[in-house]
Amino acid sequence: MPQKDLLETIIEQVRPLLGKGKVADYIPALAEVDPTKLGIAVTTIDGQTIGAGDYLEPFSIQSISKVFSLTVALTLYEEAEIWSRVGKEPSGQSFNSLVQIELERGVPRNPFINAGALIIADLLQSRLGAPKHRMLEVVRKLSANPHVIYDKRVAASEYEHSARNAAIAYLMKSFGNFNNDVDRVLRNYFHYCALKMSCADLSKAMLYLANRGQSLSAEQVVSPIQTRKLNALLATSGLYDGAGEFAYRVGMPGKSGVGGGIIAVIPGDMSICVWSPELDKNGNSLAGTAALEKLSQALGRSIF
């Protein structure tokens, strides 16, 4: 179990990296974030959460929400139903490429690229009466924070810049791999991405990934074997086109978002969340990755 001191040391060690990355600016609402924010939180399987820096301040979780979506889908569908619609392989391409979808006839490579997450959102739409409401419920419960909300302004801003995601969804539809109204699914998808959570919220919410599927409130979210599989997918596909580099440097399953958050997991031990809005060339938090690397080294722990 890391001490609060260690987390504070790490924060100070990586702070000099601020200014070396680039805040996501494809939508105005994200570009406004204070680029100097920096936080880390760790939740251990005994239920303790510690943190350092801006770890209590909510931020836009963006693609980290894809972990929640897939988790909810795993509770609604047989695995085979999911994997007939989306693959399990790293994409080897920029995270929103249409080339692969065209070459592989409408089936995206994995559920953590945009195309795959849209498939998962389409699956949720088919089974849930009110997917936005349900997602909020799930996330509040997992994080034990009833105050988690959607940032409506971010969701609206994403929707206004949704042409590329619409192109992806229509392309998959043209191959018969999209069942619901594209516009409706996009609106829900952008809400998931617009969840506002802090490092503390996220490290708590992801604890089930470290704890054989059991959440902070001792609920069995998914089975132990499903948890192992989720971690395997995160390890190979969670960091866009930087999964190899992340495994090499950090050695933990993880998922990043363009809001600058990254969650990571040491199975059997702890879930972690870091936040720093500036991104590297692969769209992953630059200082956040460095903080995870330092934590991994300090603890002498990785999955490898």
> In the complex, which residues of this chain contact its own copies (CB under 8 A)?
87-93, 97-100, 102-103, 109-110, 163-164, 166-171, 173-174, 178, 182, 227-229, 231-233, 235-237, 241-245, 247-248, 251, 253, 267, 302-304
Is 282 among the annotated ligand-binding positions? no
Is 231 among the annotated ligand-binding positions? no
Outline where DSSP puts E strands in the chain.
22-23, 39-44, 49-53, 59-60, 149-150, 195-197, 254-256, 261-266, 270-275, 278-279
Helix residue spans in 32-180 (DSSP H): 65-76, 79-83, 99-103, 114-127, 131-143, 152-160, 163-174
Sorted by sequence, the CB contacts under 8 Å of residue 52 that are 6+ apart come out as 4, 7, 8, 10, 11, 39, 40, 41
Tell me, yes or no, if 173 is annotated catalytic: no
Residue closer to its own copies by CB (options 27, 52) is: 27
Which is nearest to 238 in space by CA: 252, 219, 249?
Answer: 252
Gap between the Cα atoms of 22 and 18, Å rounded: 9
Of 67, 240, 255, 271, which one is the catalytic site residue? Answer: 240
Q: Beta-carbon neighbour count of residue 98 at 10 Å?
A: 16
Tell me, yes or no, if 33 is annotated catalytic: no
Residue closer to its own copies by CB (options 38, 113) is: 113
Shortest separation between residue 111's beta carbon and its own copies, angstroms: 10
Is 240 among the annotated ligand-binding positions? yes
Shortest separation between residue 246's beta carbon and its own copies, angstroms: 9
Is 188 among the annotated ligand-binding positions? no
Shortest separation between residue 90's beta carbon and its own copies, angstroms: 3
Of 60, 63, 91, 203, which one is the catalytic site residue? Answer: 63
Is 170 among the annotated ligand-binding positions? no
In the chain, the amino acid numbered 157 is S
Tell me, yes or no, if 192 is annotated catalytic: no
Tell me, yes or no, if 63 is annotated catalytic: yes
Of 66, 204, 255, 294, which one is the catalytic site residue? Answer: 66
Which is nearest to 151 in space by CA: 241, 35, 28, 43?
Answer: 28
Tell me, yes or no, if 240 is annotated catalytic: yes
Shortest separation between residue 83's beta carbon and its own copies, angstroms: 9
Active-site annotation, residues: 63, 66, 189, 240, 258
Binding-site sequence positions: 63, 114, 158, 165, 189, 240, 258
